[in-house]
Amino acid sequence: MKRFPACTYPFFLTLLFLWQQTVFAQFTDEESEFYIQKGIIPFIDPQQDGDYPKGIYLVPHDLTVDSGKVMTIMPGSTILFKKDTKIIVKGKLVFKGNESQRILLRKLNHDLYYNPFPPDIEIPWDGIYVHDGGELEARYTHICDSKYGLSANRNASIFLLDSVLFLNNKYHNATLGSKDLSFEDNRLCFYNLAENKPEPLPMVYIDTVKLPQYIMTPSPTVQPQTAIEAEKKPPISESKVHLRVTSGSIAIIGIIMGAGSYYINDTYYKKYDRMRTPGVFNPEEVRRYETFAKVGMAGTISGAALTAIGLSGLTLTLLF
């Protein structure tokens, strides 16, 4: 009789960890509805593009503007970020503010979270990252409460800042490659990396401006109907969430069943092997231990099958 190798047990634990990370990290319909009722529009899809009219938006997880795509935020909008989230720009991102309707990027306040953080926990968002060939145009935009502000690769195609104000960013306000652009807080900043220039154009400051009062408060509330219309890509359906949780539950049951059965198989195989030793041989005990070992092996195989079925269902709900 054969027993399963010891390496199978850590494998089951790894599957358990992956399942937990996949199922419990989801941005659920309930959480989405919670923010919509507050007039905050969540960006559901991690890949974003299109034009977004004036409103209050939420970045609940990392967003990417893929190569060849354009995402435009219209004047007067507020973008709120959950803790440690970021926007990655491989295509083009445009903040189209103007002098009378500026765009505000800032953290989501503690009291607005679906699952609130304790008030003593810092909750900065991460930043905006422009990859090689990416384009960022920001006009009349305020960038606040992040860790790294704006970070652009040296080979970004366009990096244009027009009347951009930085405030309360933890480590730096803006960098180009490894160079810190040294923008000061509470100053309107101008910067243009021309595509055909080997070196950045000089940055220019204007006189310090008084911080507008609305920078520390959200924009006027948007009606939920407008929020639903503005979000082009619908949230995950309730049936898909249920299917995802069911598939994950099947997988976790399979993992637990397989791990327990492996333990039984291993324990009784050792007893079976020891009972066959000359001097202690007992045919009745040998048959009994052999039966238990076989049951353990069958349970391990069944657990592995359940795990495979559950993970397959989970994968399908993520892909389609």
Domain interval for residue 56: 37-230
The three-point CA angle 34-37-40 to 5° equals 85
**Claim to verify: residue 61 and residue 153 sit in the same structural domain:** yes
Domain end: 170, 205, 230, which one?
230
Q: Once rounded to an integer, what is the mean pLDDT over residues 63-72?
A: 96
Query: Given pLDDT bands bounded at 50, 70 and 90, which one contains residue 263?
Result: confident
Length of the chain in residues, anyone? 320
Residue 179 main-chain phi, psi, to 5 deg: -95, 125
Percent of the chain with pLDDT over 70: 72
Q: Once rounded to an integer, what is the mean pLDDT over residues 192-215?
A: 50
Task: Measure Cα distances from 245 to 20, 42, 253 in Å.
Answer: 10, 22, 12
**Is 0.75 topped by the overall pTM?**
no
**Claim to verify: residue 274 and residue 129 sit in the same structural domain:** no
Q: Is the pLDDT of residue 169 over 50?
A: yes
User: CB 35: neighbour CB atoms within 10 A?
Assistant: 23
Query: Higher model confidence: residue 104 or residue 265?
Result: 104
Q: What is the pLDDT of residues 138-159, one digit of tens each?
A: 999 999 999 999 999 988 888 9
The answer to whether residue 252 sits within a structural domain is yes
**Claim to verify: residue 95 and residue 152 sit in the same structural domain:** yes
**Claim to verify: residue 266 and residue 206 sit in the same structural domain:** no
The answer to whether residue 270 sits within a structural domain is yes
Q: Is the pLDDT of residue 283 over 80?
A: no
**Claim to verify: residue 182 and residue 135 sit in the same structural domain:** yes
Query: Given pLDDT bands bounded at 50, 70 and 90, which one contains residue 296?
Result: confident
**Strands of 174-176's sheet, edge to edge?**
63-65, 86-89, 127-130, 150-152, 174-176, 179-180
The answer to whether residue 69 sits within a structural domain is yes
- If one counts the domains in the chain, the total is 2
Q: Under a CB-based contact definition with an 8 Å cutoff, are residues 136 and 150 in contact?
A: yes
The answer to whether residue 182 sits within a structural domain is yes
Residue 276: the pLDDT is 66
**Claim to verify: residue 226 and residue 312 sit in the same structural domain:** no
**Claim to verify: residue 68 and residue 148 sit in the same structural domain:** yes
Q: Under a CB-based contact definition with an 8 Å cutoff, are residues 171 and 147 in contact?
A: yes
Q: Under a CB-based contact definition with an 8 Å cutoff, are residues 176 and 154 in contact?
A: yes
**Claim to verify: residue 189 and residue 270 sit in the same structural domain:** no
The answer to whether residue 30 sits within a structural domain is no
Percent of the chain with pLDDT over 90: 39
The answer to whether residue 2 sits within a structural domain is no
Domain end: 230, 257, 284, which one?
230
Residues 6+ apart with CB under 8 A from 146: 81, 105, 107, 124, 125, 126, 127, 169, 170
Query: Given pLDDT bands bounded at 50, 70 and 90, which one contains residue 193?
Result: confident
Query: Given pLDDT bands bounded at 50, 70 and 90, which one contains residue 98?
Result: very high
Query: Given pLDDT bands bounded at 50, 70 and 90, which one contains residue 310?
Result: confident
